[in-house]
């Protein structure tokens, strides 16, 4: 694997091949992060495209003080927040109980690549998890996804989202309590 620093420098000089290598290295990570955040494949693709467009535009300003992955995560969360603000993505929200607005996340549709013989229970569980995530506020969801799935330390999340570490903890705790409530039925069954 080529040295990332060297790739970044070449991309900063305008070498499209180097930029493409960086995109290939991170496109899945960014896409999956966007998917966890917005719960919808199409939106996740749009967000991840936007992330790399922004990365291309602002790469000359990237000084390498943070890891490239952290920088991309930060852009992803910002893009998600922007998209959320602009288009009011139709994900579930606890504060958004108006009729017609509670569409289940798109991931509840059968995954074309999924094994058709997979147990129905597993499919239900995936739906339940996505729905529970969709119930969190964008900030709670960002903090939860970054800590739980991306395994970033609380301090780093605080720096990334420009909020105090204490606020990250509070948001994360609130997110988990809300998930607990959402998953209560499932927990009672198991």
The residues that touch another protein, with contacts defined as CB under 8 A, are 16, 20, 23-24, 27-28, 31-32, 35-36, 41, 45, 48-49, 52-53, 56-57, 107, 111-114, 122, 125-126, 129-130, 132-133, 147-149, 153-154, 169, 172-173, 176, 179-180, 183, 186-187
Q: Considering the complex, state which of residue 45 and residue 101 has its C-beta at the smaller distance from another protein.
A: 45
In the complex, the smallest distance separating the C-beta of residue 63 from another protein, rounded to whole angstroms, is: 22
Closest by CA position to 132, among listed 71, 169, 181, 171: 181
In the complex, the smallest distance separating the C-beta of residue 36 from another protein, rounded to whole angstroms, is: 8
Alpha carbon distances (Å) from 116 to 97, 110, 151, 162: 33, 9, 31, 43
Q: Considering the complex, state which of residue 16 and residue 164 has its C-beta at the smaller distance from another protein.
A: 16
Q: Considering the complex, state which of residue 8 and residue 132 has its C-beta at the smaller distance from another protein.
A: 132
CB 21 within 8 A of CB 2: yes
59: CB partners within 8 A, 6+ apart: 8, 11, 12, 19
Locus of tokens 């996340």: 105
């Amino acid at each position: 694997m080529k040295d990332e620093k060297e790739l970044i420098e070449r991309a900063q000089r305008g070498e499209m091949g180097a930029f493409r290598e960086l995109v290939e290295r991170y496109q899945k990570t960014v896409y999956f992060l966007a998917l966890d955040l917005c719960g919808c494949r199409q939106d996740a693709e749009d967000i991840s495209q936007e992330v790399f467009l922004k990365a291309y535009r602002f790469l000359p300003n990237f000084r390498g003080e943070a890891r490239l992955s952290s920088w991309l995560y930060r852009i992803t969360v910002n893009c998600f927040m922007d998209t959320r603000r602009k288009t009011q993505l139709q994900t579930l929200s606890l504060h958004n109980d108006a009729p017609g607005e509670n569409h289940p996340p798109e991931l509840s549709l059968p995954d074309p690549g999924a094994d058709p013989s997979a147990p129905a229970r597993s499919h239900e569980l995936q739906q339940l998890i996505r729905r529970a995530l969709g119930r969190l506020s964008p900030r709670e969801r960002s903090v939860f996804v970054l800590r739980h799935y991306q395994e970033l330390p609380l301090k780093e999340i605080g720096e990334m989202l420009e909020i105090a570490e204490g606020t990250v903890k509070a948001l994360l705790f609130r997110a988990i309590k809300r998930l607990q409530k959402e998953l209560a039925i499932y927990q009672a069954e198991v």
